[in-house]
Structure 1
Amino acid sequence: MIRPSTDLIVYLCREPVDMRKQIDGLALLVQEAMELNPFDKALFVFGNRQRNKIKLLFWERNGFVVWYKRLERERFKWPTHLDGDAVTLTGQELNWLLDGYDLNAMKPHKALDFQCVG
């Protein structure tokens, strides 16, 4: 299976998107609604209202690529714990989302900030 690189910048559109939109419509959505540059070295993620379909858009050297996935029984667990219209994810978080993990429930260890040893 083709998977995005884990070091790629990923922008997730939180609002549901009409899955009939093709490349031009998605690129315009990135530019106008998300206020981002669709030609950046980034991946833009869109989901439908039912959260059983997902489209990924990215610019690759000389043209746009759209990647589409439809689930037959389950639903994507759209992250609701993050703020903003466009949410930034890591490539690893996107892969977890594609695999069906609930990013809301996945909490890393608390970050520690030490000033000295001992």
Structure 2
Amino acid sequence: MIGLSANLKYYLCCNPVYMRNGFDGLAGIVRNVMKQDLVSGSVFIFINRAGTHIKLLYWDGDGFAMFYKRLERGRYSVDRGDKPAPSRLITREELMMILDGLSFKDLKRKRRFKIS
């Protein structure tokens, strides 16, 4: 089961993805387009061109797990960047904001104490 902890790395695929891709198709995108290690324990996030579907792919130690959601109304707001790279690292909080329908592009985070 996917536990979305702050200790995991979250990679957002910056290119729109065809949502009929299953485990093997998304694994191919991670390996060949995003250039990431599939079994690193990271969560890989894919959104379709219309912004209405999202998939999360995760290796949980003995197999792949996938979360898939289709919005009945609205779109996921994602900042793919000015010059999109194949993928970009986002935080757990940014992922939660995407899933909750918030745009993190225009938000400003207040500074917090952090132990180095």
Partner of 2:94: 93
Q: CA RMSD in A?
A: 1.9
- The C-alpha deviation readout for 1:10-45, integer Å capped at 9, x for no partner, is 000011100000001101110000100111110000
- The C-alpha deviation readout for 1:37-73, integer Å capped at 9, x for no partner, is 1111100000101000000000001000010011111
2:50 counterpart letter in structure 1: Q
| Equivalent-residue separation in structure 2 for 1:78 and 1:89 (angstroms) | 11
| Equivalent-residue separation in structure 2 for 1:81 and 1:15 (angstroms) | 10
2:16 counterpart letter in structure 1: P
Q: Give matches, 1:1-118, under 5 Å.
A: 4-81=4-81, 84-109=85-110
Aligned-residue identity in percent = 37
TM-score (norm 2): 0.86
Q: Which runs of 5+ in 1 are unaligned?
A: 112-118
- The C-alpha deviation readout for 1:78-97, integer Å capped at 9, x for no partner, is 11347522010011110111
TM-score (norm 1): 0.85
Partner of 1:115: none
1:13 counterpart letter in structure 2: C
Q: Which runs of 5+ in 2 are unaligned?
A: none
